[in-house]
Amino acid sequence: MQDGKIYTVATGSGTTGEEKKLAFPEIAVGIDIGTSQCSVAVWNGSQVEILKNKRNQKLIKSFVTFKDESPSSRVTSELSRERELLFGDTIFNVKHLIGRVDTDPIVVRASKNLPFLVQTMDIGVRPFIAASVNNIWRSTSPEEVLAMFLVELRLMTETHLKRPIRNVRACAMAGLHVLRLMPEPTAVALLYAQQQHKAFQETMGSGSEKVALIFNMGAGYCDVAVTATAGGVSEIKAVAGSTIGGEDLLQNMMCHLLPDSENIFKNHGVKEIKSMALLRVATHDAIHRLSSQINFQVDVDLGDGLKICKVVDRAEFEEVNKQVFGKCESLIIQCLHDAKVKVEDVNDVIIVDGCSYIPRVRNLVTKICEVTEVYKGIINPLEGAVCGAAIEGAVALGIIDPFGNLDLLTIQATPHAIGIRADGNKFVPVIPRNTRIPARKDLLFTTIYDNQTATLILVYEENQLLGYIKITGIPAARKGVPEINVFSVMEVRMPMVDDGHGWCAEALNRTYGGTMDLVTLKKA
């Protein structure tokens, strides 16, 4: 058993001394951790069950509040969350900060627009974040915030299931054993494959191949996948993604409603944070209303005599976010091109996550794919990814379903190229984008210095540093003679604070030797 715990219980009489050992059956939990909300699901033996918190909510708004020196993660209602935002002691929207350095444009923008402190030194190190606790700034990190919330989710799940949980599909934090990691569209593709397989079984169909385009746009990320499904097997043909999402739509509208907001809020004191939070709440409400209304009046008092009273309409919102929607269109076109799939060959179009309710999003996806309506099989677009994650967890554990609902397989593809820095600090891909995974790829490199006996290999997912490999014991020889085989299954260490502030290539070079380098070995 992967759970690894066997509980001993006494028999009914309690007098014979006879005991029985009961082992809980295998169970896997799927967690969809979004930028602004998350959900938890489990395969209950016959179907996916989405768990609810104490307030009977399936979709959980995630944030961490620092009321004193001890932070507490919360799962609460939207109105309560909005009130919490006003005091600067609440941290949220941190997922897109993880793995980024403080010179990253996304981090720089967050430092100006989020109603708490995002501390940057502009030197290429990890950012820290801080909440105002009794007018004193309490520092933490994005990773710590996410870990605290995962602990809360784990406790919620264990309370619901009345048993300990270790096997999880999401993140290796909070003492949880990760079974699989998969992008949200890939998880949705597995759910789609299960639904198609079940339909074919019920109608005694042949299980012919169906092609689906899956468009996922949440608060912090947008990705598209094209999948071909037949007989319970779903093959991801291509994936394309970008760090755009609902947060960009929100920030653009905030700047539109208050054009001088950057100067007004630049001090980022407690007073400015409260005003920023009020503007944020009002703007979020306007975007939500414009999904079902043609226009909406924004009326908010930001304090110090600063008020906004303006009627905004849907066309105005779409114009303000023209570039974001344009990027969405280019991702769809790119994904279809990479998958070598023509529009007329797409059978179903699936739109999921929070931005799926925005009319402009739905219209641009259906227009490009030349369909009149989207796939109806996923009733709630916000639940598709977590349901697929729970199914994948059950499949990964080898749980047997007598009805064949788990006779599934997803052939994934890597959404980004993975490689190393070499050839004069250039990115050299080892695994190209949209390669089937798991995969093994090899590339030969050699030294650039005479008698070089060690090298530091920095591993990147395109521009994002994933980790490093320190190689020592290279036989001393003239430069260009040693052959160093870099392949995709080498053990990669994640950067830690002890390595020089983590996720900072410059710090790793200082710690392990910045003069070490490699070049691609070109054989005759």
Which pLDDT score, from 0 to 100, does residue 270 have?
82
Dist CA 502 CA 451 (whole Å): 29
Question: Mean pLDDT throughout 366-384?
Answer: 94
| 318, amino acid identity | E
> Is residue 388 a contact partner of residue 43, using CB atoms and an 8 Å limit?
no
Burial 170-202 (b: 16+ CB within 10 A, else e): bbebbebeebbebbbbbbbbbbbbbebbeebbe
Among 3.40.50.720, 3.40.30.10, 3.30.420.40, 3.40.50.2300, name the CATH number for the domain at 29-178: 3.30.420.40
- Is the pLDDT at 258 greater than 80, yes or no? yes
> Is residue 239 a contact partner of residue 183, using CB atoms and an 8 Å limit?
yes
Which pLDDT score, from 0 to 100, does residue 204 have?
63
The contacts of residue 161 (CB under 8 Å, 6+ apart) are 27, 42
Q: What residue ranges of the chain are covered by domains with CATH 3.30.420.40?
A: 29-178, 184-245+320-414
pLDDT digits (tens, 9 = 90+) for 186-204: 999 999 999 998 888 776 6
- Is the pLDDT at 24 greater than 60, yes or no? no
Q: How far is CA 52 from the centre of its chain?
A: 21
CATH class as words, domain 417-490: mainly beta
Is 288 strand, coil or helix? helix
Which pLDDT score, from 0 to 100, does residue 177 have?
66
- 179 or 319, greater pLDDT: 319
DSSP state of 306: E
pLDDT band at 138 (very low <50, low <70, confident <90, very high): confident
- Is the pLDDT at 21 greater than 70, yes or no? no
Q: What residue ranges of the chain are covered by domains with CATH 2.60.34.10?
A: 417-490
> Is residue 499 a contact partner of residue 507, using CB atoms and an 8 Å limit?
yes
DSSP state of 476: P
The domain defined by 246-316 carries CATH number 3.40.50.12160: no
Which pLDDT score, from 0 to 100, does residue 17 have?
40
Arithmetic mean of pLDDT over the chain = 83
- Using alpha carbons only, how large is the chain's radius of gyration in Å? 25
Question: Mean pLDDT throughout 46-62?
Answer: 86
Q: What angle do CA 32, 36, 38 make, to 5 degrees?
A: 25
Strand partners, 213: 226, 349
Tokens of 136: 């004193």
In the chain, the percentage of residues whose pLDDT exceeds 90 is 39
Is 384 strand, coil or helix? helix
- 342 or 56, greater pLDDT: 342
Residue of 385, 377, 23, 378 lying closest to 169 (CA atoms): 385
pLDDT digits (tens, 9 = 90+) for 472-495: 888 999 999 999 888 766 666 666
Task: Give CA torsion, residues 189, 195, 196, 201, to 10 deg.
Answer: 150
Which pLDDT score, from 0 to 100, does residue 10 have?
28
Dihedral of alpha carbons 388, 390, 396, 401, sign: negative
- Is the pLDDT at 175 greater than 70, yes or no? no
User: Among 168-182, 199-213, 383-397, 507-521, which is the least confidently predicted range?
Assistant: 168-182
Which pLDDT score, from 0 to 100, does residue 78 have?
46
pTM for the model: 0.86
> Is residue 169 a contact partner of residue 392, using CB atoms and an 8 Å limit?
yes
Which pLDDT score, from 0 to 100, does residue 27 have?
76
Most confident residue range from 116-130, 246-260, 269-283, 399-413: 246-260
Which pLDDT score, from 0 to 100, does residue 165 have?
77
> Could you identify the residue written with the tokens 């200082």?
510
Dist CA 235 CA 229 (whole Å): 6
Which pLDDT score, from 0 to 100, does residue 12 have?
29
Among 3.30.420.10, 3.30.420.40, 3.30.2130.10, 3.40.720.10, name the CATH number for the domain at 184-245+320-414: 3.30.420.40
Identify each DSSP E strand in 164-273 by its residue range: 167-169, 177-178, 210-217, 222-230, 233-242
DSSP state of 501: S
Question: Mean pLDDT throughout 234-261?
Answer: 94
Q: What residue ranges of the chain are covered by domains with CATH 3.90.640.10?
A: 246-316
Which pLDDT score, from 0 to 100, does residue 313 have?
96
DSSP state of 97: G
**Maximum CA extent, the chain:** 82
> Is residue 518 a contact partner of residue 422, using CB atoms and an 8 Å limit?
yes
- Is the pLDDT at 446 greater than 70, yes or no? yes
